[in-house]
Amino acid sequence: MLSTMQDGHLSIGTLLRHATKVHATSEIVTWTGSGTRRETFADLGKHAARLANALRSLGVTGDQRVGTFMWNNAEHMAAYAAIPAMGAVLHTLNIRLFPEQLVFVANHAEDHVVLVDGTLVPLFAKQLPHLKTVRHVIVANGDVSTLQAPEGVEVHSYDELLASQPDTFDWPDVDERSAAAMCYTSGTTGDPKGVAYSHRSLWLHSMQVCMTDSMRLAESDKALAIVPMFHAMSWGLPYAALMIGASLVMPDRFLQPEPIAQILAAEKPTFAAAVPTIWQGLLQYLDANPQDVSHLREVVVGGSAAPPSLMHAFEERYGVPVLHAWGMTETSPLGSVARPPHTATGEQVWAYRYTQGRFPASVSARLISESGEELPWDDESVGELEVQGPWIAASYHGGSAVDPEKFHDGWLRTGDVGKISPDGFLTLTDRSKDVIKSGGEWISSVDLENAVMGHPAVAEAAVIGVPDEKWDERPLVAVVLRQGQQVTAAELREFLADKVAKWQLPEHWSFIEEVPKTSVGKFDKKRLRAMNSDGKLDVTHF
């Protein structure tokens, strides 16, 4: 028996039409460094139409890939709307990838057109001669004369190209299962892998972002999207904002603590999202330059776990709750959000908030042991997390031959190691490649990092395993001190004495200027291991 319900594709074009009509007065605010540029959702509809018409004139007539090499701003938002809605595929290029990785992903995706922000032209120009399929480059917010293109590639001014285009477009009825957008993983192991999101998956994911037990994005919100639009679709915020009518504040290239504080003061957003390193820097700035940020009802942290000390500092000193979320490029990226159940009280609330969160109905999860057995949700059994669902990748772009080990019996192997409580809350203890195996037992590098960062003199701490003849591996802690602070390795080790098991106390310590980061702001432990192997770390041993 079939249903009697109407059918219609869940497409980005449908979402765009809804946003520009129903939420016409909501805004996209782009920070300029000294003020703002403002565009309503109604204006966005016209902007996106002009861009779509321009891309048609450049030969984008089907599902060609259109790359973006841009900051978070109004032009990037127009690309987010126009490219999928017209039936093409948005490919957000990570501006922080190593040059050879950038070349690889643009060629692998077969980008036909690339939109480039003017401030990023010098960075992009070095790689353009190696991009085999790119035929057009559109420069926004900059001078096109600064980009010398190789033969066969045309360079266009964004403003001039769009100026002559109509501000209406007949958005096609796109199949919801066709690709709408692409992101590539950060390539910390091997070449980056491409994930192609469908219109349907983005639509369903947007609904989850707006749900009350998730990020709770609402029409009344003004959301500061610090997480880059080139990193896992800016955690779904752009499309969720179109769905619900939330205004967006885009920081453009101004991502340092001082300009972020200026944006907060000027626009008073109610919601914000960024990786922990952004909030660490902002916390230090606010402590030195106090200002009222209580207009933030909540900030979401993802990419890596936020130290409990950071969560407590923001809430207790500034009245801003920090909400944990977990996900990855392959999960669109939202996988879980750590919103405590209503029955939690007292310290239980914090215990839930320290986790990576509770799985929604659309994300099924399981834990697999090293021997391949499924483990119980008892908040004790630790194994590798596998997930599946309508916004979870089933393969990488290029087919099943691309990293087939990542997919297991219809499930995505996340590479994350952790445990799950009986009521569905995930606690990650490590990445499978970062867990420290010492004397037959596992030491969580994440737990050690959080414990060390609880010391008031410590800004950042990254833990790696180093070879040990007796125990196989032992932890090495790389510490970044807060400005003007001093502490010794012996004092830090003493500080940990009542916080971790005695056998887990690190014997190896190094003080460094900065923890190396990946292209998405995570601790780059591969580089840290290389620094140690090359003798570039000054290590104190106990």
Q: Which residues are annotated as catalytic?
A: 185, 330, 437, 442
Q: Angle 489-496/445-452 helices, nearest 10 degrees?
A: 110
Which are the contacts of 430, defined by CB distance < 8 A and separation ≥ 6? 416, 417, 418, 436, 442, 444, 445, 446
Residue 533 burial (CB count, 10 A): 11
The alpha carbon of residue 207 and the mean position of all alpha carbons in its chain are separated, in whole angstroms, by: 18
Nearest to 40 by CA among 21, 51, 26: 26
With b meaning 16 or more CB within 10 Å and e meaning fewer, what string describes 150-162? eeebebbbbeebb
Q: Which residue has the tokens 């999928």?
A: 84
Based on C-alpha coordinates, what's the Rg of the chain? Answer: 23
Please confirm whether the linkage preceding 333 is cis (ω < 30° from 0): yes
Q: What are phi and psi of 101, to 5 degrees?
A: -75, -40
Give the integer Cα–Cα distance in Å for 272 and 274: 7
The alpha carbon of residue 497 and the mean position of all alpha carbons in its chain are separated, in whole angstroms, by: 34
Residue type, 362: S
* Inter-residue contact 471 to 437 (CB < 8 Å): no
Give the integer Cα–Cα distance in Å for 112 and 101: 18
Q: What is the dihedral of CA 225, 214, 246, 294, to 10 degrees?
A: -70
* Inter-residue contact 409 to 342 (CB < 8 Å): no
Residue 527 burial (CB count, 10 A): 14
Give the three-class secondary structure for 107.
helix
Q: What are phi and psi of 316, to 5 degrees?
A: -80, -30
Nearest to 33 by CA among 229, 262, 292, 272: 262
Maximum alpha-carbon separation in the chain: 72
Tokens standing for 170? 């007949």
Which are the contacts of 118, defined by CB distance < 8 A and separation ≥ 6? 139, 140, 141, 142, 143, 146
Nearest to 122 by CA among 142, 107, 93, 103: 142
Give the integer Cα–Cα distance in Å for 420 and 433: 20
The partner residues of 91 in beta bridges, in order of sequence, read 67, 182
DSSP state of 120: G
Give the integer Cα–Cα distance in Å for 77 and 96: 19
